Structure 1
């Protein structure tokens, strides 16, 4: 397909194909051949990738719809939402949910509002439908959905500072990796890189879980405390922040590396890069780095590292820069 603007018929066909691929890639019996075919389809036209990303967001909404169990399926694992159910969710999202099915809203299945926000190339401040204020770091993508019994944010990537509008009867939940942060009204920061998450509480109180499939409300943070977790962790690691903690320096456009090992610093650096930097070995990861950097100019940091650290750069077969410790 050419990369000229699509006709209405072509656009409809792309939307249908995006829904098909969304279902197939989430299916347990999806084959390698199908995944390859999907990659070829996605790369054939920019609109293909855009429609697929939009369909993934609709898929998130469909996860909260009920799963009816026919008599013949009792005792069997339930399948993902059907095409019909996904189509219903798609139609609702396309209308920005002004007329969400009344019964779906009343049962807490469907949101009555849905918003998606991105910050590409610059910091961004947004106001959610509930009045909460959110500051987005560069490269951040998040969605907001308002349900009858809770407000739900999904932090897909990046970092955000939340000033949550207080509502004790309507909790505010941030989903990040396999865990979540639950609040009613407070100020806190969430940083996510791949499956690593760091939550810093400034004001109020939050409950943090590292795996929302586990029972319990999670660990409670008080102001000045920080929780860290990654995929597979049973519970978060909790620590107290210090007076000049630099976790929130990004809000002023700065990345502060306070004598960190490269192993700890690279996740903070890589989240601003299109092509992440990798370490050659454990020895290289133990080299320490410090300094204050402009987050809009992190691209220039990597080539300068051999000038300030005992390292040299190479590249792997995929084109990723590799940091290697210099021989003594």
Structure 2
């Protein structure tokens, strides 16, 4: 199929982003914003499905996007059981797990559901690509030190895989022949060791690795346990503090990295210390992942929203450039990554994977 027309959908907590691609070329892009007052009436994420679909269809019609001309619809992958990297056909098993939030509730769970509803009306395929639960970790990497606490792979796989392919293409080599350390720097931070295209180790962006604008990262275990049992916080409050009110926010009262950098530039010593502390921890984690690859690193890739910052990029580069060349791909091209994942299937470059509740990544 030459230059198929693909609709890509990326639902977030307060927005639904979507774009239409003709082959590799984006021909239209839009973001629908969702106000808290509109979402508060929905008891669960999945109950927002009809509401979001209605707004999406209205926007497509308004911009004269004809659904009958589409060849496929692809949505952001949500919380499913651990999966190998790739593009998956949306099937009944996947829909059932997402509708019941069997593995967790998140706005991205709506991606496959929305894609399926639109695709079935046109009798075309619906896909997801590299969801957050991509798990290619080696068994040794799963050990934490306590059997009940197995390390898990929750990772910005979609963007990490996409930027790795871009850099491989830039240097003229096959993606699956290279070893990369990739640092996705955003509201959460994922740093991975990627060997021959496989993410063999990763810090779980929700509870390990460097602190970020809103997440605490890895913490001193004894002190954390004592804080949990201090009576000052409920379980829900502690989880919120770890994932939404840690990092920059805990120290400085803001999650805005640009604001923190500006404050540091203007002489705010605490802001400078905290900003440099995050850079220090990111650099240390990159070093750790290079050890996982036994020093055989073809490149270090910095991506995500924080990599728009010249200061952050320059300081991390200064600390880790001795390991391997540093490449920078700022931002998160998630809609493009979704479309390219579907395109690889439609043009027979890859085979679509089948989701099954009986099969997981390991």
Same fold (TM over 0.5): no
Shorter-normalised TM range: under 0.3
In terms of Rg, which structure is larger?
A: 1
Question: Which of the pair is proportionally richer in helix?
Answer: 2
Structure-2-length-normalised TM-score: 0.25
**More relative contact order, 1 or 2 (CA 8 Å, 6+ apart):** 2
